[in-house]
Structure 1
Amino acid sequence: MSKIYDSAAAALDGVLFDGMTIAAGGFGLCGIPELSIAAIRDAGTKDLTIYSNNAGVDGFGLGVLLESKQVKKMGSSYVGENKEFMRQYLGGELELEFNPQGTLAERMRAGGAGIAGFYTKTGYGTQIGEGKEVKEFHGEKYILEEGIFADLAIVKAWKADTTGNAIFRKTARNFNEPAAMCGKICVMEVEEIVEPGELDPNHIHLPGVFVHRLVQGEFEKRIEQRTVRKREEA
């Protein structure tokens, strides 16, 4: 049975429901599943809990779902580029679960590996660790973090074969790979789809067993913060 769909809307058909939990890949504006985000916005699915490294920016990435008021809760490690996020959070309209960046990635990976929880030193003795179980190993205190088991994972790859074996490009690998693993259903958008055997097995980052639906598309290449230097006079 083919995993390839004509559009993100078609790939998400029958998958979305109000109150669902979504794991979204991407790092800053690099490797974000923009086609799936747009399709979720158009579907009007609401009361979403979304785990993602960041919340996009105003008007792009997950920021469009914040603007349409479809997100109930964000689980992120960095949200500093989104004014609408700040407005909703400070106004009590949006729940926020802060995670250290490495902890968030490991929570996704753990969910994908079927691991219910793990202990980490990161966050012990801080607000992150409040209310969490503490255990001592080798004289050090660790807190218990739970794996993330999402109803849906939306991710973006650089190249994949028709079975879903995928390669992520550079920084885009950071959260796309673990996010893809922890979803009951994974919808992957990709820049190029090739036939099985065309990808070097040694270069595959994510096995196709984690990927259920594929969409090939064209994407916008945005720069999160453009910094330029004034030209020096001769």
Structure 2
Amino acid sequence: MCAQVVLAEDDEKQAELVRRYLERENHSVTVVHDGRSALEEVRRQQPELLVLDVMLPGVDGLDVCRILRQESDIPVLMLTARTEEDDMLLGLDLGADDYMTKPFSPRELAARVRTLLRRTSARAVEPDTMLRVGGVSVDTDRHELFADGTLITCTPGEFRLIATMAARPHRVFTRAQLLEQLHGIDQYITTRTIDTHVLNLRKKIEPDPRKPVRLLTVYGVGYKLTDG
């Protein structure tokens, strides 16, 4: 597996050794020697992996990891001479995916890199279970509803209703079609149940529930979810 790797290590001899081992694995390696350059290269290249020394001049590795975790899910393998457990846990808490203490075997580092890249590749091929319609997002695996990035609490019936419409945005669903989706969820369901769910959902996902622009009524037919 070949990958673009940014290596941030202030010890030039150590950096050269690691670079050689990674290039033997057919990775393309960019070496930088301070934290600010690490941030710049990751932002510019969007590499598959960052190998990050903790003790960097300017911006240290922990701060680099903290900043990048707000912007990216790039895998981070941290390197450090610190052996205290608290330091290791801090790096992992900040979002590092793996942690190696110096001195280490370059062969082990190369193996850790392979493992991280395989893990990342496996995540990349996982199906996206998030349905997005404008500012509304529905995660069907986690059973979560979001409106403009905010997690919304909803009942099982409301969730089934919004998930059904999010899977086919702009399609008009009749009340009868929506009723079919609620069998087994709501014990006693009527067309009034559908109308009540729609009203409650509008209160939760609409900027102004009195003037809906997302969950719309198509008079004489039913409802549809749009990206308004």
Same fold (TM > 0.5): no
- 1 or 2, which has the higher strand percentage? 1
Structure scoring higher RCO (CA < 8 A, sep ≥ 6) equals 1
- 1 or 2, which has the higher helix percentage? 2
Max Rg structure: 2
